Structure 1
Amino acid sequence: MEIKRVLPIAVAPQPLPFHSQIFVSWRVMGRATMYGYSEQRLLLLRSTSSKAMWPMCGRPQSMYGAVEDRVLFNFITDQGLKPQQIINTHAHIDHIMGIESLKVKYSIPFGMHTLEQPVLANAKGSAMLFGFTFGSVPVPDFFIAENTKVKLGDDELEVRLAPGHSPGSIVFYNAAGKWLIGGDVLFNGSVGRSDLPGGNHDVLMNSISEQIYTLPDETTVYSGHGPATTVGKEKQTNPYVRG
């Protein structure tokens, strides 16, 4: 796997086992570690049949924001990708910071679940709690409902509502490829925090049990932070919630 490094970012393509590819950009150093975002994932889902691409944003705020944008834009250009729309799992600050620049650059809409609107509205206040300022808060152009399907070219993602980390957290499941975009609901060996406004620990545990652990064990889970895992592994070994 080729990794292009431009301090402090690494951009690496990771192929998924069917029609689409996933490109993952992450931060591993700098001020972001002070805020708990030591490895932040930006997922770019690409349909190989058309070069169409759907960003799922996530980026820690730091002095390197302009650098991050430049690296991402260059990567999209180099790969010949054509951004279509931005789809988000939730609206915590570390998952919305790259949205406005993408919206402006490519004139594409941004969507999330409607229950995330209070979280989005509190973005600037949340940023202050972590010791930094938030620039322009993105305005959603559409809302993504649970129990619907998101079309990515020839591919399809099932939308599942999984609150607890935040009130409108959603996860995206691809049955054909057996993979899940899990946001910050479930991690490799851990779970999302539930102590932020709108979070609820019991609701989070139920979401994991009902919306993720009911998927096939071989389902790969791509989380908002940290390495990928599988449903089967977490059901057997996760210290917070067993299947």
Structure 2
Amino acid sequence: MKITRFQFNMLPVNCYVLWDPDSRECAIVDAGCYYSKEEETLAHFIDDNQLVVKYLLATHLHFDHCFGNAFVARQYGVKLMASRDDEFLLPYMAQQAQIFGITFKGEIEPIGQYIGHGTTFTLGQEEMQAIAVPGHSPGSLAFYAPESGFVLSGDALFQMSIGRTDFPGGNHRQLIESIRKNLLTLPPETVVYPGHGPDTEIGLERNDNPFL
């Protein structure tokens, strides 16, 4: 499976396109595109690589990861897939953004399909699975592709850091426990693609992350 990263909006968020080079099926994860130019960048990539959007996935439902959900859902006829435990955040997107002095423009896309720990997806012949990592938000999920050897950690685990827990529903102790139980137990060579910032590896975080 191939993975391409885009950095969208003013925070900036890592938006990932996961795609199978044979079937051309793809998943868009954390569609944070805020500006029309960012929407165009994502659409051009999909078109240029002749990809078929199969999934719209959210690691969690904080505003900065959700700016582009309505665009992707409308453009490609897919439903937003996210955890039921984060659904309570949707009506407060504008308030979330306002804290950072940002206007949430456009539509708020509802969850079209609930997913959770153990949910599996296929792109071509390869399977990936959702892993629950609550703490940054109650419904935070990571997406693991064991055959390709990478995990998308959302805002749970970063390079030598972890997600903040001062937003509604955040829980520091729960975040530490879920990372240790559900992420650090992955093979040490697993590449971690976080919701912000550069990638890292499970082994490095297990050994050196000062928060863990």
The alignment's TM-score, normalised by the length of structure 1, stands at 0.83
CA-based RMSD: 1.4
Distance 1:234 1:202 in 2: 17
Q: Deviations over 1:172-220 (max 9, x none)?
A: 1122222111111000011011111110100000011101111111111
State how many pairs are aligned: 211
Distance in 1 between the 2:15 and 2:102 partners? 21
Instruction: Name the residue aligned to 1:48.
Output: 21
Unaligned 5+ runs, structure 1: 1-19
C-alpha distance in structure 1 between counterparts of 2:18 and 2:47, whole Å: 15
Match of 1:96 in 2: 66
Percent identity of the aligned residues? 32
Aligned counterparts of 1:188 and 1:146: Cα–Cα separation in 2: 23
Single out whichever of 70-79 and 161-170 deviates more from structure 2: 70-79
The residue that corresponds to 1:146 in the other structure is 117
Aligned partner of 1:221 among 178, 182, 192: 192
Q: Is the 8 A contact 1:164 1:194 kept in 2?
A: yes
In 1, Cα distance between equivalents of 2:31 and 2:53: 16
Would the aligned equivalents of 1:58 and 1:224 in 2 still touch at CA under 8 Å? no
Tell me if structure 2 keeps the 8 A contact 1:119–1:198. Answer: no
Q: Residue deviations 1:119-170, cap 9 Å, x none?
A: 2222111011111221211111101121221222211112111100000001
Per the TM alignment, residue 92 of structure 1 is displaced from its structure 2 partner at its CA by 0.6
Matched, 1:21 2:2: yes
Bigger-Rg structure (1/2): 1
Dislocated runs of 4+, deviation >4 Å: none
Instruction: Please list every run of 5 or more consecutive structure 2 residues that lacks an aligned counterpart in the other structure.
Output: none
Task: Normalising by structure 2, report the TM-score.
Answer: 0.95
Q: What amino acid does structure 2 have at the position aligned with 1:180?
A: V
